[in-house]
Amino acid sequence: MKFAWFKIVLFCLVTFYSKGQSSRLLQSQADAAILNKDWFTAAQNYNYLFYRDSSDINLQFNYAEASRLNFDIDLALRLYNKVALVDNGKKYPLTFYWIGQLLKNKGQYKEAKKWFTKYSKIKTKSQKNNLEYYKTKSLLELEACDLAQLLIKSPVKPLLEHLDTTINSKVSEYAAFEKDSTLYFSSLKNSNKKDDNDVNFNKIYKSDLKNLKWQKVTALDTIINATYMHNANTCFSKDYKQMIVSRCKSKNASEYTCELYLSNFINNKWQKLERLPELINQKGANTTQPNFAEIDGKEVLFFSSNRAGGEGNLDIWYSIKNSDGTFSQPINAGKKINTPDDEITPWYVNENNTLFFSSTYHKGLGGFDIFKSEFKNNEFSTPENAGYPINSSYNDIYYSVNKTRNRAYLSSNRVGSFFENKLNCCNDIYRFNIEPLNIPPKPIDTIELARGQMKLLVPLTLYFHNDEPEPKTKNIVTTKNYEITYNDYKMLLPLYSKEFSGGLTNELKDKATNKIENFFADSVDAGMEDLRKFSDLLQKVLLKGETVKITMKGYCSPLASSDYNINLAKRRISSLRNYFTETKSGFFVRYINNTNVNEGKIIFEDVDIGELPASKVSDDLKDKRNSVYNPIAASERKIQIIAVSFGY
């Protein structure tokens, strides 16, 4: 009997030791994969570890990071949300930022804004993980989410054509350029199935367009496509006598170091590619994505590089080609173009002196967006987003214009692109018709933009403490303005946290506290911030003579009679009217029901007010934890600007 018991104990110890050893091995393999930026292998190892212990918050965060970088967006979102529920930005503040980014990738801009706002409010003096950079970026992303919604509501003309499977495959196709009905592009596709070595190397391919159909794709010969190197990014000189391509070597599992090589077209034949000199290919730097252009009659080579002297990561640079064929010292395209993030895939259109490029920093719809900037007075203008549907919420890169200047191409991993295992893993080539390049772009209508931004802010929701303002009265007006009630409400956050988490312990207490903090940040504070933005925009349109109708509605939680609640809702709307009469030193007073012709005018309109229908919140005043301090109850004590319209 003792021997049997001993065997059981020994078996358990061996099993425990084996599992411990296995977990340590998986963690070691995950760490090695992270160092090699092999996100696929890292995610696989974290998946095995997660299966063994899904409650480890550190593992949850690391698994989320690897999944995001491995393009498993939905999985990453689920994991980040698990972390946020327990941690609430304390140990892993970047969780908020990455949830915002992933929601933005999915086109869920209003939800994304909530998380960017949460991250922007985190107070930290730590420089670890470059948190201040992300804080600055989160503020830009808030504006980008508003811009994205406006761009989608006002699409630019071109309809994008997704090139068929003759060109596109389940791996990435990119860097397309059409010359004389021949399309040049780069791809990881295997052109020779008998040669397994071709599978993992980018090559430059071409396909001819005949009878409106793309012909069989062929790889350029080995003069251009070096064996056992990645070859990509074709560009031609104006006279098509020179070709420049990038040749790249793997730095790790997901990064490359590239250099530019040039070939001359002599006797109807491309010559062997020669590496451009050190002035262009700076030692140790990544130099890639070339594009020939012409500025002020001079031939110029644009490219992307992370060389010293830039703004950070990959920047756009250009070098003037001298009369003897050499290139001058490269010039950084400047701070209006280049940012701390990557600026890539430059394409300069000579006819309208416009540089097209992609960036993840300038305000866009998500991922890399394509931007354009005019070169004027020897500098580039502030970049402008190329618009929707040229840009999507995913990566949009490699804008190019064909030789006849009537068609443009881009590469994107947007929804609809072909993929083998993971959605949005791989880029495909798209094309669209463009307007004549000599037509100047239309100026931006700033008032139309302001009107659009105001509409994006509605429904604009504002929240109140229980029975505020003017508690225990039947008045239908108040002398308080909404900002005063908001400031008083904010002071009650510690009380709400104490009352709602009272009696709870450990993780349940943390989750309850997090719910209160999130309600105040995501709802109460966000509403006040939106009201201030709304007021700024309202001021702009009124100064241009607009008539604006603002429609408001009030709601209450069910802690009193319906008659009392109706009066309370009216008091709350009254506080909002007071806000508009008192804010900005009374600026809006003259515009309320203004009868002067050709001047701005505000019309306030109230609709049905009272208790929310079918409320599930406790109406027992003795149960204040649920009837007053529960975030669900607090979310019902609100008023809304439910509509804004113009031109009455």
pLDDT one-digit tens code per residue, 431-455: 999 887 766 656 667 888 899 999 9
Kindly report, residue by residue over 207-265, the tens digit of the pLDDT.
Answer: 999 988 999 999 999 899 998 889 999 999 988 899 999 999 999 988 999 999 999 99
Please state the rounded mean pLDDT for residues 531-541.
95
Alpha-carbon gap, residue 50 to 27, rounded angstroms: 11
Name the most confidently modeled range: 501-505, 572-576, 643-647.
Answer: 572-576
- 106 neighbors 393 (Cβ within 8 angstroms): yes
Kindly report, residue by residue over 379-404, the tens digit of the pLDDT.
Answer: 999 999 999 999 999 999 999 998 88
| The Cα angle at residue 410 between residues 408 and 412, in degrees rounded to 5 | 155
Strand 601-606 relative to strand 182-187: parallel, antiparallel, unpaired? unpaired
How would DSSP label each residue in 465-510?
Answer: -TT-SSTT---S--S--HHHHHHHHHTTHHHHHHHHHTT--HHHHH
Please state the rounded mean pLDDT for residues 295-319.
95
Please state the rounded mean pLDDT for residues 341-348.
97
Please state the rounded mean pLDDT for residues 160-185.
92
Amino acid at 116: F
Kindly report, residue by residue over 459-496, the tens digit of the pLDDT.
Answer: 999 999 999 999 999 999 999 999 999 999 999 999 99
Alpha-carbon gap, residue 382 to 444, rounded angstroms: 13
Q: How far is CA 457 from CA 53, 149, 396, in A?
A: 42, 11, 27
Q: Spell out the residues 6+ positions from residue 509 whose beta carbon is closer than 8 angstroms to its own.
A: 501
What is the pLDDT at residue 198? 42
Asked if residue 180 has pLDDT above 90, the reply is no
Please state the rounded mean pLDDT for residues 316-336.
95
Residue of 19, 81, 80, 79 lying closest to 47 (CA atoms): 79
428 by DSSP, 3-state: which? strand
Portion of the chain with pLDDT greater than 90, in percent = 69
How would you write 89-116 as a 3-class SS string?
Answer: CCCCCHHHHHHHHHHHHCCCHHHHHHHH
What is the pLDDT at residue 128? 58
Kindly report, residue by residue over 193-207, the tens digit of the pLDDT.
Answer: 434 444 478 999 999
CB atoms within 10 A of CB 418: 18
* 165, two tokens: 């499977």
* 312, two tokens: 């950070």
Please state the rounded mean pLDDT for residues 302-321.
95
Kindly report, residue by residue over 121-157, the tens digit of the pLDDT.
Answer: 887 665 555 788 999 999 999 999 999 999 998 898 7
The pTM of this model reads 0.85
What is the pLDDT at residue 17? 44
Residue 340 CB-density burial (10 A; 0-12 exposed, 13-18 middle, 19+ buried): middle
Partners of 350 in the beta sheet? none
> Tokens 């295992």 label which residue?
421
* 468, two tokens: 């505020």
Q: How far is CA 59 from CA 1, 25, 29, 129, 581, in A?
A: 42, 15, 14, 18, 53
Q: Output the average pLDDT for the chain.
A: 89
Amino acid at 64: A
User: Who wins on pLDDT, 319 or 158?
Assistant: 319
The answer to which of 360-364, 422-426, 570-574, 580-584 has the lowest mean pLDDT is 422-426
Alpha-carbon gap, residue 289 to 399, rounded angstroms: 11
What's CA 253's distance to the chain center, in Å? 24
What is the pLDDT at residue 438? 65
Query: What is the CATH number assigned to the segment(s) 2-153?
Result: 1.25.40.10
Pick among 2.60.40.10, 3.30.1330.60, 1.40.20.10, 3.40.1280.10: CATH of 447-646: 3.30.1330.60
117 by DSSP, 3-state: which? helix
Kindly report, residue by residue over 64-97, the tens digit of the pLDDT.
Answer: 999 999 999 999 999 999 999 999 999 999 999 9
- For residue 81, give the H/E element and its range: helix 73-87
Tell me where in the chain the CATH 1.25.40.10 domain(s) lie: 2-153
Tell me where in the chain the CATH 3.30.1330.60 domain(s) lie: 447-646
Asked if residue 502 has pLDDT above 50, the reply is yes
Residue of 251, 271, 250 lying closest to 261 (CA atoms): 271
What is the pLDDT at residue 440? 61
What is the pLDDT at residue 305? 97
Pick among 3.40.50.300, 2.120.10.30, 1.10.10.10, 2.30.30.90: CATH of 161-440: 2.120.10.30
Dihedral angle sign, alpha carbons of residues 121, 125, 131, 135: positive
Amino acid at 26: L
What is the pLDDT at residue 103? 97
- 98 neighbors 76 (Cβ within 8 angstroms): yes
371 by DSSP, 3-state: which? strand
* 402, two tokens: 């064909």
Q: Spell out the residues 6+ positions from residue 78 whose beta carbon is closer than 8 angstroms to its own.
A: none
Q: End-to-end CA distance of the chain, in Å?
A: 94
Strand 343-349 relative to strand 331-332: parallel, antiparallel, unpaired? unpaired
Residue of 440, 467, 454, 424 lying closest to 644 (CA atoms): 454
- For residue 23, give the H/E element and its range: helix 2-35
Alpha-carbon gap, residue 262 to 281, rounded angstroms: 12
Contacts of 588-597 with CB under 8 Å at 24 or more apart are 588/535, 588/538, 588/539, 588/542, 591/542
Alpha-carbon gap, residue 252 to 245, rounded angstroms: 21
Asked if residue 294 has pLDDT above 90, the reply is yes
Q: Please report which confidence band the pLDDT of residue 2 belongs to, taking 50, 70 and 90 as the band edges.
A: very low
Asked whether the bond before 558 is cis by omega within 30 degrees of 0, the reply is: no
Alpha-carbon gap, residue 587 to 609, rounded angstroms: 28
Tell me where in the chain the CATH 2.120.10.30 domain(s) lie: 161-440
Asked if residue 5 has pLDDT above 70, the reply is no
